[in-house]
Amino acid sequence: MTLQVRVGIGYDSHRFAEGHGVLLGGVLIPAAVRCTGHSDADAICHALTDALLGGSGLGDIGEMFPDTHAENAGRDSIEMLRLAVARVRAAGWMPAQADITVIAETPRLGPHRPAIRERLAAALGIEPSEVMVKGKTNEGMGWIGRGEGLACIAVATLTPSPRS
């Protein structure tokens, strides 16, 4: 039997360095830190891309965009997300809904939530009401609590897409 709904999960983390803002879901949130990484270090986009690729059985972000390739250095993660969505659709699936949790002591996501939801929804080809983003602290515990970086968990639901 072929399932008519698939669910994928993705996780990502990035280390903080001194900076002027954290890029999350394609939105630069003002902060005294930035995330470091090979691409633009957008943990929401990376976790969500992995959720989409995982749910559709297409591998993971590391396979699709190897960090050994120069073209992926500093790469726009919204663009990577869009390319992953196109690949998912070509494989007969499409995003229906996504739910995302960012675990970080700083910055606060709340005021930027509507912008992030809009940006991600546009990349996924769904409505902002179908994308949720939630911020949590780690209650001061561990590496996240010490402010060394942030983590992100994303879940995406996929439904069959008409093959073109």
Which of residues 37 and 95 has its CB atom nearest to Mg ion in the complex?
37
Dist CA 83 CA 61 (whole Å)? 11
Minimum CB separation from Mg ion for residue 147, in Å?
Answer: 18
**Is residue 128 within 8 Å of residue 86, measured between CB atoms?**
no
Q: Which of 6, 8, 10, 12 binds Mg ion (CB under 5 A)?
A: 12
Residues of the chain by 3-state class (helix, strand, coil), percent to 5: 35, 35, 35
Q: Does 46 bind Mg ion (CB under 5 A)?
A: yes
Q: Does 117 bind Mg ion (CB under 5 A)?
A: no
Q: Does 50 bind Mg ion (CB under 5 A)?
A: no
Which of residues 72 and 161 has its CB atom nearest to Mg ion in the complex?
72
**Is residue 94 within 8 Å of residue 130, measured between CB atoms?**
no
Question: Encoding tokens for residue 65?
Answer: 């965009």
Minimum CB separation from Mg ion for residue 54, in Å?
Answer: 15
Closest CA to 156 of 75, 63, 72, 61: 61
Minimum CB separation from Mg ion for residue 12, in Å?
Answer: 4
Q: Does 40 bind Mg ion (CB under 5 A)?
A: no
**Binding residues vs Mg ion (CB under 5 A):** 12, 46
